[in-house]
Amino acid sequence: MKRIPVSGPSITEKEIAYVTDAVTNCWYENANLYHERFERAFAAYIGTKHAIALPSCTSALHLSLLAYGVGKGDEVIVPDCTWIATAAPVSYVGADLVLADMDPHTWCISAESFAACITKRTKAVIPVDLYGNMPDMDAIRSIADRHGIKVIEDSAEAIGARYRGKPAGSFGDVGVFSFHGSKTITTYEGGMLVTNDSVLHQRALFLRDHGRKPNDRYFFNAEVAQKYKMSSMQAALGLAQIERIEEIVARKREIFAWYREALAGVAGVTINAEAPETRNTFWMVTVILDPRFGLRKERLMDLMAEAQVDCRPFFYPLSLLPAYAGTKIAKLATSRNLVSHRLSPYGINLPSGLNLTKELVVYVVDALKRILALHPKA
Ligand SMILES: *Cc1c(COP(=O)(O)O)cnc(C)c1O
């Protein structure tokens, strides 16, 4: 039997047609055609005034911090459990990282922990819509507003998610998305920055093109800055994907529903939550085991791999990574972020690719059940 991959996209004739059209026709005066169409369609979907297509979500985060002038002496609050891409740009701009704990239900940043992390130096918070779910955005927004803190919403994993009817990515002063091949919609590599802040938008356009004004015909750079652009072929692929977004999100939710049904009645297993006011898009279907099984995520991944099922570990707390080992940030976070450090060791992401069938989901869950049966709870 073939290995079941952990993630993967849905590509149809539409994507192939758009990319082919881009390669064939998008030169000379048409070089930016697909960028404009992709950005317009994306902004319309999120409901923001502006969208800027970028080479990655990492660059979108970097650009957001640069454009808000975050730098040396400033602090930026990030959830402890996330992909390192959320945090690395804080170091790129020379600011200090502060790691907040997660909420035990949403697995996203806890509003109380965020509030407790605020100091006079806090400039921004980067809440993450983890695995397609949403944090308590009302609480985060009101705490941030009270302290004059910018909210940069990392929606890399949550295109299509909603909180009280509003789309993921529209809660921050800036929202950022990823189109990496593993994400819900893809351009192979790619990202998007969305915002209603027209000043921020202009500043980001300037910084992402080597510090020159849009439409500057003289190549007359005013500042040393970044070069962050997406290719026409990627923009064409992205346009086709965003035009299919509701179909793709419906598919993600269907895959999750198959898992929920197959896992019903399996004791000691917690799966992704969906609060009543939230639409979760289940980027990664995730299970967290009761620690009494005595099965940590690394061992569980190995056992699943023996059954030809590829899984990923629940994000390690950043404070546990060698990348931050020995830092003051990591020591403080390790003693403070008890929920992150309690849940993360027992979580894995199950295959969540858009090519899954109900039969494959049942196979994955049967493999998990067999493993659990061999590890009775202590
Ligand atoms: C994937 C991801 C990113 C980074 O996206 P890239 O496009 O690979 O740069 C950032 N934040 C989170 C939460 C992610 O999952």
Is any atom of ligand 1 closer than 6 Å to the C-beta of 56?
yes
Q: pLDDT-based confidence at 138, cuts 50/70/90? A: very high
How far apart (Å, rounded) are the C-alpha atoms in residues 271 and 239? Answer: 32
- In tens, the pLDDT along 29-56 reads 999 999 999 999 999 999 999 999 999 9
Q: What is the dihedral of CA 201, 204, 205, 207, to 10 degrees?
A: 160
Pocket test for ligand 1, best of 7, 63, 128, 157 (most atoms within 8 A of CB): 157
Q: pLDDT-based confidence at 214, cuts 50/70/90? A: confident
Is any atom of ligand 1 closer than 6 Å to the C-beta of 185?
no
54 bridge partner residues: 191
pTM, to two decimals: 0.98
- In tens, the pLDDT along 333-344 reads 999 999 999 999
Give yes or no on whether 13-243 and 245-373 have one common fold: no
Is 377 a residue whose pLDDT tops 90? no
Is 189 a residue whose pLDDT tops 80? yes
Return the pLDDT at 40.
Answer: 98
Report whether CATH 3.50.50.100 matches the domain 13-243: no
Is any atom of ligand 1 closer than 6 Å to the C-beta of 85?
yes
CATH no. for 245-373: 3.90.1150.10
| Contact residues for 174 (Cβ-Cβ < 8 A; gap 6+) | 64, 67, 68, 150, 151, 152, 153, 193, 194, 195, 197, 200
Is any atom of ligand 1 closer than 6 Å to the C-beta of 83?
yes
- In tens, the pLDDT along 63-113 reads 999 999 999 999 999 999 999 999 999 999 999 999 999 999 999 999 999
Is any atom of ligand 1 closer than 6 Å to the C-beta of 180?
yes
Distances (CA, A) of 361 to 9, 161, 309: 16, 22, 10
- Ligand 1 mean position to 86 CA, how many Å? 7
Average pLDDT over the chain reads 97
Domain ranges of the chain: 13-243, 245-373
Q: State whether residue 138 is helix, strand or coil.
A: helix
